[in-house]
């Protein structure tokens, strides 16, 4: 893979991880090093999961904490999140690269009031924004799942769960490669 623009979005190859499993941690770190990916490690019971862009997230809701997980679910469906994603998408269209937009809280509040008037601000686009792959590694079957196109919940007691995690991350990386190739960032 060759980076032809040197302007690949900042978090295009970032994995967000917040779990407590040494075997998975070691294997994921090795996989990331071999595949030119970065891992951002979330701190227990912090809101890090809402602060970083990534192409895949791997979380244990016990480590994340119930309160933080509920805040995260609320955040994913909030007007603020959707508007920031919309503005991020518009910025990428305008300048052709990047995935960070500096927007103040006042600007967000003002724009949220007008969100209904923004052309293209719809459920269809919301679905596209929530396209990150979420891998949950815990045995909580009765918890609400995040609004993502792909959510995989794996029981860490299953002997194959690490292989499933790494296989899913590999598929997500290939999808990100294809997306960036299509957008002209790599060839």
Concatenated DSSP letters for 35-98?
TT-EEEEPPTTSSGGGT---SEEEE-HHHH-HHHHHHHHHHHTSHHHHHHHHHHHHHHHHHSS-
Looking at residue 80, its pLDDT comes to: 60
Domains in the chain, start-ordered, CATH in brackets?
14-178 (3.40.50)
DSSP 8-state assignment for residue 9: -
Looking at residue 105, its pLDDT comes to: 44
Residue 45 CA: distances (Å) to CA of 1, 19, 21, 25, 184: 37, 11, 16, 18, 38
Looking at residue 6, its pLDDT comes to: 53
Other C-beta atoms lying within 10 Å of the C-beta of residue 53 = 15
Residue 120 CA: distances (Å) to CA of 57, 79, 102, 123, 183: 27, 14, 21, 9, 20
- Across the beta sheet with 150-154, what order do the strands follow? 38-41, 14-18, 56-59, 133-137, 150-154
pLDDT in tens for each of the 187 residues of the chain? 544 445 666 678 899 999 999 999 999 999 999 999 999 999 877 788 887 778 899 999 999 888 889 888 887 777 666 565 555 554 433 333 333 444 444 444 444 444 444 444 444 334 344 467 999 999 888 888 887 778 999 999 999 999 999 999 999 999 888 888 887 877 7
Tell if the pTM clears 0.75, that is, is over it.
no
């Amino acid at each position: 893979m060759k980076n032809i623009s040197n302007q690949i979005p900042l978090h295009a190859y970032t994995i967000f991880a917040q779990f407590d499993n040494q075997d998975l941690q070691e294997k994921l770190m090795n996989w990331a090093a071999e595949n030119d990916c970065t891992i951002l490690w979330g701190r227990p019971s912090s809101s890090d999961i809402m602060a970083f862009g990534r192409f895949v997230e791997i979380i244990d809701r016990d480590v994340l904490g119930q309160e933080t997980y509920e805040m995260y679910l609320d955040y994913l469906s909030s007007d603020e999140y959707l508007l920031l994603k919309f503005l991020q998408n518009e910025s990428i269209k305008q300048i052709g690269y990047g995935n960070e937009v500096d927007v103040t809280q006042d600007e967000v509040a003002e724009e949220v009031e007008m969100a209904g008037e923004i052309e293209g601000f719809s459920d269809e686009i919301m679905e596209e924004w929530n396209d990150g792959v979420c891998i949950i590694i815990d045995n909580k079957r009765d918890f609400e799942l995040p609004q993502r196109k792909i959510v995989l919940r794996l029981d860490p007691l299953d002997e194959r769960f690490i292989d499933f995690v790494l296989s899913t991350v590999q598929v997500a990386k290939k999808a990100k490669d294809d997306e960036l190739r299509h957008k002209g960032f790599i060839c």
